[in-house]
Amino acid sequence: MLRPMLRRIDLVLSSLRPAGKLAHSWQREASANAGWLIAERVLSGLVGVTVTVAVARHLGPTSFGVLSFALSLVMLLGTFWTLGLSGIVVRDLVRFPADEPEVLGTLTALRIGGGVVAFAAAIGLTYVIGTDDVTRVAVVILMAGVLVLYAMDGVDLQLQASVRSRFAVVARTSGLLLAALINLGLILAEAPFLGFVGAAAVEYAAGGVALAFIYTRLGGHIDRWRFSATRATYFLSASWPLILSGVLNAVISPASRTATSSAGRKLRGLHAMLVAGSAKASVSYCCRKLLGPSWIIGSARQP
């Protein structure tokens, strides 16, 4: 099964590869990006599985089910955070590099606004579903961490557009390793449930802070970012089909049915232990990050 999939990927790469003197440069850039992204997925998978198993054994199925539910709820509302803008923003950054402050400023404002909507929707769902106060507090803490990450996610897109994904990998990995160390420390200290919720929020927030730090170290100026109502209208008009499809996918996905079912926290915890990690998701992630920005850049540079 894996061999036919790799063959198809190779055919796609062959069909997308720019011709002429830019071919070698495109291959080198794409290969470097792919190497960093694959290494990140491997490392995050190993660290994630190790930490998840340790935390699950420490918390037990019931408490781990609450944590899994809170994380699932945050991720299911991810459409409101991303707004389907990633590909559009990368394209505009490649085509109009001089507009970077306006593009990133507008994207950040839209994502913060979407985050506020997602925040309200998540809290509302906890009341509709009938969760307890501890679960609501967990959702609030996780939402705060994710808001920091997505406020700075435009930096990741800018690094993709400039074919420098290695810096984004370093930022995300730093958050992952910091959260892993905190989790292991909490396990040794026999910390309560909310401590592990805080560790998950720290991973998201640390990734956002690291992206901001790297952007400034590379010569970027966050203070120059500006909002444009015209560009915001353009972004939303171009991305609404992606937003709609994301919402529908979240509503009908098995994860949403599991997260919002009344089967009990213990069942959610056991379900999360069984389905943690997906090879299909990893392959999709790497292909999207590799083929998207690299092909856009290769096409834009073609004479």
- Least Cα distance to 222 among 235, 234, 209 occurs for 209
Asked whether the predicted pLDDT for residue 253 surpasses 70, the reply is no
So what's the pLDDT on residue 298? 45
Which is more confident, 82 or 189? 189
Asked whether the predicted pLDDT for residue 85 surpasses 90, the reply is no
So what's the pLDDT on residue 7? 54
Angle between helix 133-151 and helix 153-161 axes, rounded to 10 deg: 40
pTM: 0.73
Asked whether the predicted pLDDT for residue 277 surpasses 70, the reply is no
Q: What is the mean pLDDT of residues 51-55?
A: 90
Which is more confident, 129 or 288? 129
- For residue 303, give the 3-state DSSP assignment: coil
Please write the tens of the pLDDT for every residue from 145-181.
888 888 888 898 898 888 788 888 888 888 889 999 9
Amino acid at 57: R
For 301, other C-beta atoms within 10 Å of its C-beta total 12
Q: Do the Cβ atoms of 71 and 199 come closer than 8 Å?
A: no
Instruction: State how far the Cα of 106 lies from the Cα of 100, in Å rounded to an integer.
Output: 10
Asked whether the predicted pLDDT for residue 15 surpasses 80, the reply is no
So what's the pLDDT on residue 123? 84
Q: Do the Cβ atoms of 236 and 69 come closer than 8 Å?
A: no
Amino acid at 49: V
CA distances from 66 to 232, 255, 260, 268 (A): 37, 14, 12, 8
Q: What sign results for the dihedral spanned by CA atoms 13, 18, 22, 23?
A: positive
Instruction: State how far the Cα of 180 lies from the Cα of 232, in Å rounded to an integer.
Output: 37
pLDDT band at 185 (very low <50, low <70, confident <90, very high): very high
233: enclosing H helix or E strand = helix 229-252
Please write the tens of the pLDDT for every residue from 102-135.
999 999 999 888 888 888 888 888 888 777 888 8
Instruction: State how far the Cα of 303 lies from the Cα of 299, in Å rounded to an integer.
Output: 9
Per-residue DSSP letter, 263: S
Q: What is the mean pLDDT of residues 87-110?
A: 91
Asked whether the predicted pLDDT for residue 271 surpasses 90, the reply is no
- For residue 261, give the 3-state DSSP assignment: coil
Structure tokens at 85: 């803008």
User: Cα 111 to the chain's mean position, in Å?
Assistant: 13
Please write the tens of the pLDDT for every residue from 201-242.
998 899 889 999 999 998 889 999 999 999 999 988 887 777
Asked whether the predicted pLDDT for residue 291 surpasses 50, the reply is no
So what's the pLDDT on residue 274? 42
- For residue 219, give the 3-state DSSP assignment: coil
% of residues, the chain, pLDDT over 90: 18
Which is more confident, 283 or 96? 96
For 232, other C-beta atoms within 10 Å of its C-beta total 16
